Amino acid sequence: MAKLCLVPTPIGNLEDITLRSLRILKEADIIFAEDTRVTKKLLNHFEISAHVLPFHSHNEHKALSSTIDKIKSCSLAVLVSDAGTPGISDPGFLLSRECVAEGIDVECLPGPTAFVPALVASGFPCDRFCFEGFLPHKKGRQTKLIAIEKEDRTIVLYESPHRLVKCLAQIEEFMGSERKVCVVRELTKIYEEYKRGTCKEVKEYYELHPPKGEIVIIIEGKNGKN
């Protein structure tokens, strides 16, 4: 019986891969990878030899039916993205939906993802939260910001370093300068950093210290409570 297993990979620190993930990567008949070069580097590090095939985000729709055929022809197929959990702001959702529709077993192993440690360490309530991932760049961005402004739950965004200040300025514009945020940068890496404060304070900090690396923005829910 065919099975698809989504396997999370480290978001910076290679020690974060689980023993079970390593075993499943070793046992897989095929590993579908967002970028085969990135995945082969990881597999080489752990001395795993595997049959790795591409599963790109830009051809996720197109690649679907041939990927399903390949999954059906083996007993264990794995999907990995470059870092973190597949399907979380990465390719994965369409493939898992299609596998479910085709009656193929789907499983996702627990493991690294950026938003959980960022949320939990932010100091904002994490009993209820809302994950928005990357905001749309142009169309729909304003509508999304208006909706987020009303949100009582803690809000989680992914953002690139060169857009961070602009994004904080928009949070200030739509949610007021006193809305509290926590910007979490470079999780699990040498320069891991948490900047907490009002969006105005944190924006001013990053105007003076242009950020590098990978970023999660946590925004306190409206009225500061859940």
Which residue's Cβ lies closest to ligand SAM? Answer: 84
Stretch that binds ligand SAM, among 35-43, 58-66, 86-94, 139-147 (CB under 6 A): 86-94
Rounded to a whole number of angstroms, the minimum distance from the CB of residue 170 to ligand SAM is 16
Binding residue for ligand SAM, selected from 63, 167, 187, 202, defined by CB under 6 A: 187
Comparing CA positions, the residue from 114, 94, 86 lying closest to residue 5 is 86
Residues 44, 55: Cα–Cα separation, whole Å: 19
- Tell me the number of residues near ligand SAM by CB under 6 A: 23
CA atoms within 13 A on the CB side of 199: 21
- Segment 87 to 106, residues that bind ligand SAM, using CB under 6 A: 88-90
Rounded to a whole number of angstroms, the minimum distance from the CB of residue 118 to ligand SAM is 6
Beta strand segments in 15-125, E? 30-33, 52-54, 77-80, 105-108
Place of tokens 């932010």: 122
- Segment 4 to 33, residues that bind ligand SAM, using CB under 6 A: 11-12
Residues 36, 116: Cα–Cα separation, whole Å: 26
Q: How is residue 159 written in tokens?
A: 């953002």
Q: Rank residues 11 and 63 by Cβ distance to ligand SAM and give the closer one.
A: 11
CA atoms within 13 A on the CB side of 41: 10
- Segment 66 to 85, residues that bind ligand SAM, using CB under 6 A: 81, 83-85
Is 164 a residue that touches ligand SAM (CB under 6 A)?
no
Task: Give the binding site for ligand SAM (CB under 6 A).
Answer: 11-12, 81, 83-85, 88-90, 113-115, 158-160, 184, 186-189, 214-216
